[in-house]
A and B are shown apart, each in its own frame.
Chain A
Amino acid sequence: MQHDDVIWDLIGNKSFCSYKVKTKTQQFCRNEYNITGLCNRSSCPLANSQYATVREEKGLCYLYMKVIERAAFPARMWEKVKLDRNYAKALEQIDENLIYWPRFIRHKCKQRLTKITQYLIRIRKLTLKRQRKLVPLSRKVERREKRREEKALIAAQLENAIEKELLDRLKQGTYGDIYNFPIHAFDKAMEKQEEDTESEEEEEEDEEESGTREFVAEDEFEESDLSDFEDMNNLKGSSDEEEDDEEVSSEEEETEEELEEEKTKAKSKGKAPLKGPIRKKRAYVEIEYEQETEPAQKSKAT
């Protein structure tokens, strides 16, 4: 016998219903056939012998109906009617099937159908848009990669590598004439020229002496000026005799180098701010500064 009120009395209020979910403000019903989802006297599928629901399966809506005549046959209790895909036609179908049924159930069925069609439309729209794929990260792998990255960073020695590469490019001349350092090639050329001058001096001293006798007069001038700088030369530990000899030879070198320097300067595009030893060599042209660079040249000559 179906005593709906008795059933509701028990499961609704007094005793236990396994489908009931209680929250602070409301009670929900987890029964799959429940039409509203709330736990009410009129929505409970157990406590109503005449009941109907709309459910969705794989994109299709079905109308489920339960009547008291089939209450004794649980296997056949729910009548399943496939609803049309067209929303309006489906509404008519509901009306047609639930004719003479209580207003509440009819209304709620239609509401549920509306909601279902709305979310089906949304699903279809979203699948057309870009889907975000979640790729799982393996924690171990991530940890290992992180550590490897740190080690690779240390092994890379980035700053050294970058500096080395930039210096290589400077040497190769990719920067052209922007930087006016005495580049290695220039230095080597200078050294070669110094060696050549030395060898030439050894071979052809007489000729050089004759050629540079004019300069010797200037050298005498310098010697007098050098008197102040003799102390400096003494500090470096060279005797006066050696100084004189070396002065002559070094000055001869200087003069030749001056000539060569002037030539090279003419070759270069003559950019103003010359740095480094070139500056000092330029000072050679003025007699006053020749003395300063003598000790440096001595070291090169030896």
Chain B
Amino acid sequence: MDSNEATTSESVSKKKGKTKKVKRKVKHDEAPVQEMEQAEGEETEKKSESGPCFPPTFSVSEIKNKQRRHSMFLKLKEEKRKKKKKERKALGDKAPPKEVPKTIENQRIYDETTVNPEDEEVAFDEGTDEFSAYFNRLTNPKVLITTSDRPRGRTVRFCEQLATVIPHAHVYYRRGLALKRVIPQCVSRGFTYLMVINEDRKVPNGLVLCHLPDGPTAHFKVSNVRLRKEMKRRGKDPTEHVPEVILNNFTTRLGHSIGRMFAALFPHDPQFVGRQVATFHNQRDFIFFRFHRYIFKNEKKVGIQELGPRFTLKLRSLQKGTFDSKFGEYEWVHKVRSKSKISFTIYKNTFKYA
């Protein structure tokens, strides 16, 4: 019986090269299992004799042995695929167009607030909003990074690494000062940005980004913070050169204003000698931050190496003035959807992505 099963199992799974495993399994077989496998053995014998033709009432799901079932299923799939390819080829031009799989990005309904680059209204707004001073090259960014009360080691290190990534950034210890008092002091010392990293349970989990001469305040949720020493295959520490900035997928009005906020963190003229690039990539409302060093191997290939910390942000609220949680005027607040079932398409109409 054992030898019989061995042979049948071998014939079935020859191609897959799982003979070793099946043999081992056969060794472990006990009496009751053997009976079932005998029955299967008969079936598999039939199969092996008749090749790809199966008895009419047989389906792959009836095989009890998981490995064999899996291998039979894969074979079945491959045959189907080949058949389909043949048919497609045979049809030639008349073949129906290849189906594109549905993704969330495909299915998104068009957001009316998407920014059209030639839009006059948007251009006018951008000419007169709080970042116009930066974009007209009147001010240079100067960032103050601080934390919430009593930061733990991880947050402190994160702040330090952020300060190396963002040029002209200074880290200050928060001695229990109220933000409302910190802000006028910052303004008087010429800072353009205030970044407060909130901490919870020894891990940074929030970021308040406040543009200083009464600019908008954005509150983000921070997640997946990875410090430099936790990065795999990372490069050397970033140099003092001003990095380039890449902002991806900030398409709607709200996204556009957030994108400008991030852009205004960095000085205008990147030093290409440094070959460093900071990326803010928006995907489905999550903003991924990465810091890389790139090198062009030829005109079609570029190699990138990740340095620096990485984290993801999710916008929670955008407030018009400087930080004022009680009396501030909120432009946008993330509302957690209610329990009612909303259709898939409406869900995908997220705020920043087209």
Cα A216 to Cα B283 in complex, Å, equals 63
Asked if B286 and A153 make an inter-chain contact with CB atoms under 8 angstroms apart, the answer reads yes
Asked if residues A162 and B176 are in contact (CB atoms below 8 Å), the reply is no
Partner of A175, one of B272, B281, B286: B272
Q: Say if the beta carbon of A272 comes within 8 Å of chain B.
A: no
Q: Contacts A129-B176, A156-B281; is A149 near B302 (CB within 8 Å)?
A: no
**In the complex, per-residue mask of B267-302: 1 if CB is within 8 Å of any chain A CB, else 0:** 000001100010101011110101010101011101
Report the Cα distance A23→B34, complex, angstroms. Answer: 66
Whether B50 is near chain A, meaning CB under 8 Å from some CB there, is no
Known A-B contacts A149-B224, A167-B300, A181-B296; A141 and B336 likewise in contact (beta carbons under 8 Å):
yes
Indicate whether A138 reaches chain B with its CB closer than 8 angstroms.
yes
Known A145-B314, A149-B224, A153-B286: A170·B336 in contact at CB below 8 Å: no
A178 with B272, Cβ < 8 A, contacts A148-B286, A149-B223 known: yes
Given contact pairs A158-B281, A178-B272, A149 touches B286 in the complex (Cβ within 8 A): yes
Secondary structure at the A interface, as helix, strand, loop or mixed, is helix
Are the CB atoms of B298 and A156 closer together than 8 Å? no
| Residues in B whose Cβ lies below 8 Å from that of A146 | 223
Contact of B288 among A158, A182, A183 (CB under 8 A): A158
Q: Is the CB of A179 within 8 A of B336?
A: no
Chain A residues 138-165 with CB under 8 Å of chain B are: 138, 141, 145-146, 148-149, 151-153, 155-156, 158-159, 161-163, 165
Set of chain A residues within 8 Å of B78, measured between Cβ atoms: none
Q: Are B176 and A130 in contact (CB under 8 A)?
A: yes
Known contacts being A153-B288, A175-B272, A181-B299, is A162 close to B246, with CB within 8 Å?
A: yes
Residue among B149, B176, B279 having the largest count of chain A Cβ atoms under 10 Å: B279
Tell me if B290 and A153 are in contact (CB < 8 A).
Answer: no
In the complex, A155 Cα to B106 Cα: how many Å?
12
With known contacts A152-B286, A158-B279, A181–B298 Cβ distance under 8 A: yes
- Cα distance, A106 to B272, chains bound together (Å): 80
Known contacts A146-B223, A153-B283, A162-B246, A276 near B304 by CB under 8 Å: no
| Interchain CB contact (< 8 A) of B312 among A149, A170, A175 | A149
Interface residues in B225-256 (C-beta closer than 8 Å to A): 244, 246, 248
Is B76 an interface residue when CB atoms closer than 8 A count as contact? Answer: no
- Write the nearest CB–CB distance from A164 to chain B, whole angstroms: 9
Which residues on A sit within 8 Å (CB–CB) of B248? 161, 165
Interface membership of A22, Cβ < 8 A: no
Q: How far is the CA of A77 from the CA of B215 in the complex (A)?
A: 63
Would B336 and A156 count as touching, CB distance under 8 A? Answer: no
Question: A166 at interface (Cβ–Cβ under 8 A)?
Answer: yes
A contact residues around B272 at 8 Å (CB): 175-176, 178
Cross-interface CB contact of B246 among A138, A156, A165, A275, cutoff 8 Å: A165
Interface residues of B in 299-334 (CB under 8 A from A): 299-300, 302, 304, 312, 314
- A178: chain B residues at CB < 8 Å are 272-273
Inter-chain contacts of B281 with A (CB < 8 A): 156, 158, 161-162
Query: CB-CB < 8 A to B300: which residues of A?
Result: 167
Contacts of A165 in B (CB 8 A): 246, 248, 279
* Nearest-CB residue, chain A, relative to B290: A158
In the bound complex, CA of A158 to CA of B290 (Å): 9
Cα distance A130–B284 in the bound complex, in angstroms: 35
24 contacts between A and B (CB under 8 A): A141-B336, A146-B223, A148-B286, A149-B314, A152-B284, A152-B286, A153-B283, A153-B312, A155-B103, A155-B283, A158-B288, A159-B304, A161-B281, A162-B277, A162-B281, A163-B294, A163-B304, A166-B277, A166-B302, A167-B300, A171-B299, A175-B272, A181-B299, A183-B299
Q: A130-B176, A145-B314, A163-B304 are in contact. List 16 more A-B contacts (CB 8 A).
A: A149-B224, A149-B312, A149-B314, A152-B286, A152-B288, A153-B312, A155-B103, A158-B288, A162-B290, A162-B292, A165-B248, A165-B279, A166-B296, A167-B299, A179-B296, A276-B298
